[in-house]
Amino acid sequence: MSITDNKIISLNSASATLNNGTMKSNVYFNFTGLLTDEKVVRQSYVSIVNAQIPVSYYVINATNNLLNFTYNSVPYNYVIPEGNYNATTLISTITALITSTPIAITINKLTGVLTFSSVGNFIFIYVVNSIMPVLGFTKANTPSILNTTYNLTAPYPLNLLGIKLIEIKSSSLNVSSFDSVGLNSSNTLVSIPSDTAPFNMISYVSNNSLDNHILKQKVLNGIDIVLTDENNNYIDFHNIDWTITLCLSVIKDEENAISNDLKQVLANNELDDKIDEIKKEKSIDEAELDILES
Whose CA is closest to 219, among 7, 37, 46, 42? 37
Please give the pLDDT value at position 141. Answer: 63
- Closest listed residue to residue 220, CA positions, set 80, 45, 23: 45
Can you list the pairs that 132-139 forms with residues at least 24 positions away whose Cβ atoms lie under 8 Å?
A: 133/64, 133/159, 134/60, 134/64, 134/90, 134/158, 134/159, 134/160
- The domain defined by 2-57+166-253 carries CATH number 2.60.120.1100: yes
In this structure, the chain runs to a length of 294
Tell me the C-alpha to C-alpha distance, in Å, between residue 154 and each of 48, 240, 257. Answer: 41, 36, 66
- Nearest CA-CA partner of 165 in 208, 128, 196, 199: 196
- Give long-range contacts, CB 8 A cutoff, 24+ apart: 8-12: 8/49, 8/245, 8/246, 8/247, 9/34, 9/223, 9/245, 9/246, 9/247, 9/248, 10/243, 10/245, 10/246, 11/223, 11/225, 11/243, 11/244, 11/245, 11/246, 12/241, 12/242, 12/243
User: How far is Cα 239 from Cα 184, in angstroms, rounded to an integer?
Assistant: 31
Asked if residues 208 and 49 have their Cβ atoms less than 8 Å apart, the reply is no
Domain boundaries of the chain, sorted by first residue: 2-57+166-253, 66-153
Low-confidence ranges of the chain (pLDDT < 70): 141-149, 176, 183-184, 209-211, 255-294
Give Cβ neighbours of residue 203 (< 8 Å, ≥ 6 apart). Answer: 50, 51, 52
- C-alpha–C-alpha distance, residues 81 and 59, integer Å: 11
CA 134 to CA 127: how far, in whole Å?
13
pLDDT in tens, 77-113: 999 999 999 999 999 999 999 999 989 999 999 999 9
- pLDDT of the residue at 147: 46
Q: Which pTM value belongs to this model? A: 0.81
Helix (H, G, I), strand (E, B) or coil at 178: strand
How far, CA to CA in Å, does 252 sit from each of 32, 44, 178, 248, 263? Answer: 20, 9, 29, 13, 16
According to the model, what pLDDT value does residue 291 have?
57
User: Are the C-beta atoms of residues 27 and 17 closer than 8 Å to each other?
Assistant: yes
